[in-house]
């Protein structure tokens, strides 16, 4: 199977099957895709790469890998409150394996269709397995949710639950034990994250800042604090956890919840006066949220346990280039 056969067979869709999007004037097949911005909207673009051994294990099913490659990108759009419009796929493959490619395309288009976006182009090359998706989305002019808008006194929220993806990783590493359905649930969180696209859009005009949890809650919240020139107090034991994580030791719960990463939940801030509107937004998009702390003027992040006692965090977020 040649490069162009491969693209045609797995990535160019029957027009009857694919989403028809008014954002796309011309999709795959020419030197560029041609896209139509909606009048009055701004385009948001983000790109995330997944590298075997770094971001995923070789044991992951191709459907899930494709899902995750697109999901982590959609999560960035969600964090900015954007409506997804289109995406591209750059793929390096060791070999053209038909079964693998069919599974990959299935997982990719299942999530794309769920968000009504078309694959409009990409690049395909032979090489160590590497997947790079670029997503494009839109927000009404000036309404993108940024990291820089948190204000002193704002509430801090997180969506869903945090820590399961890290728990699954610890099981793969052999440092934690889970069996049966509990393991499957944690593994799903790691391999099949659900980007909070609906919540992101619902928070436009309400949240003062937002970010998605990719590297760990402490580190990602830290980006908001830094960009907003504020500090925060976090109620560590208020972090929403799945029943599976809640059955682990408190130390492991805290480590997974605070430093885990790969959760793809949204952390956001909003003024206290907006509490009811935020609650309503969460209900409208059927995405649970939990209030986990508040923004303070004093720089830095302070952690408190259930009794309000200060805690010292002994772990940090994931950093690809950290040497110590």
Residues annotated in a binding site? 31, 46, 48, 55, 76, 122-123, 147, 212, 214-215, 262, 318
Report what 91 binds from Mg ion, ligand ADP, none; CB cut-off 5-8 Å by kind.
ligand ADP
Report what 203 binds from Mg ion, ligand ADP, none; CB cut-off 5-8 Å by kind.
none
- C-beta closer to ligand ADP: residue 119 or 145: 119
The one segment of 11-19, 117-125, 159-167, 183-191 that binds Mg ion by CB under 5 A = 117-125
- C-beta closer to ligand ADP: residue 22 or 30: 30
Taking the complex as a whole, how short is the minimal distance between the CB of residue 158 and Mg ion, in angstroms? 39
Q: Which residues of the chain form contacts with ligand ADP (CB under 6 A)?
A: 7, 11, 28-31, 89, 91, 119, 121-124
- C-beta closer to Mg ion: residue 123 or 184: 123
- C-beta closer to ligand ADP: residue 80 or 86: 86
Alpha helices in 115-196 (DSSP H): 164-173, 180-191
270-278 long-range contacts (CB < 8 A, ≥24 apart) are 270/154, 270/155, 270/157, 270/203, 270/206, 270/207, 270/208, 271/151, 271/153, 271/154, 271/155, 271/208, 272/153, 272/154, 272/155, 274/206, 275/155, 277/206, 278/155, 278/157, 278/203, 278/206, 278/207
Instruction: Please identify the residue of the shown chain whose CB is closest to the bound Mg ion.
Output: 123
- C-beta closer to Mg ion: residue 89 or 233: 89
Residues annotated in a binding site for substrate? 55, 262, 318
Residues annotated in a binding site for ATP? 122-123, 147, 214
Count of CB atoms within 10 A of residue 47's CB? 14
Phi-psi region of 147 (alpha: psi -120 to 50; beta: other; left: phi over 0): alpha
Contact residues for 270 (Cβ-Cβ < 8 A; gap 6+): 154, 155, 157, 203, 206, 207, 208, 278
Report what 7 binds from Mg ion, ligand ADP, none; CB cut-off 5-8 Å by kind.
ligand ADP
Task: List contacts with Mg ion (CB under 5 A).
Answer: 123
């Amino acid at each position: 199977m040649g490069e162009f056969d491969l693209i045609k067979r797995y990535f160019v869709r029957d027009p009857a099957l694919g989403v028809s999007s008014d954002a796309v004037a011309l999709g795959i097949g020419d030197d560029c895709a041609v896209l139509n911005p909606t009048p009055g909207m701004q385009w948001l673009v983000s790109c995330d790469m997944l590298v075997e051994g770094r971001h995923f294990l070789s044991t992951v099913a191709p459907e899930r890998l494709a899902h995750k490659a697109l999901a982590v990108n959609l999560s960035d759009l969600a964090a900015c409150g954007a409506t997804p419009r289109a995406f591209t796929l750059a793929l390096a493959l060791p070999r053209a394996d038909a079964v693998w490619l069919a599974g990959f395309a299935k997982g990719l288009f299942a999530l794309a269709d769920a968000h009504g976006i078309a694959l409009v182009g990409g690049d395909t090359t032979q090489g160590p397995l590497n997947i790079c998706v670029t997503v494009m989305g839109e927000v009404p002019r000036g309404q993108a949710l940024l990291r820089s808008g948190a204000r002193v006194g704002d509430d801090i929220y997180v969506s869903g639950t945090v820590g399961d993806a890290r728990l699954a990783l610890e099981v793969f590493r052999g440092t934690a034990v889970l069996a049966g359905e509990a393991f499957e649930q944690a593994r799903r969180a790691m391999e099949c994250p659900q980007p909070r696209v609906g919540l992101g859009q619902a928070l436009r005009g309400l949240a003062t800042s937002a970010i998605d949890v990719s590297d760990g809650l402490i580190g990602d919240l830290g980006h908001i604090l830094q960009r907003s020139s504020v500090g925060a107090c976090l109620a560590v034991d208020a972090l929403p956890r799945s029943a599976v994580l809640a059955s682990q030791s408190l130390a492991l719960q805290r480590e997974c919840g605070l430093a885990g990463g790969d959760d793809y939940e949204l952390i956001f801030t909003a003024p206290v006066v907006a509490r009811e509107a935020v609650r309503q937004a969460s209900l409208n998009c059927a995405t649970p949220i939990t209030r986990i702390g508040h923004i303070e003027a004093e720089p830095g992040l302070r952690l408190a346990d259930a009794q309000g006692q200060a805690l010292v965090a002994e772990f940090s977020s994931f950093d690809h280039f950290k040497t110590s």
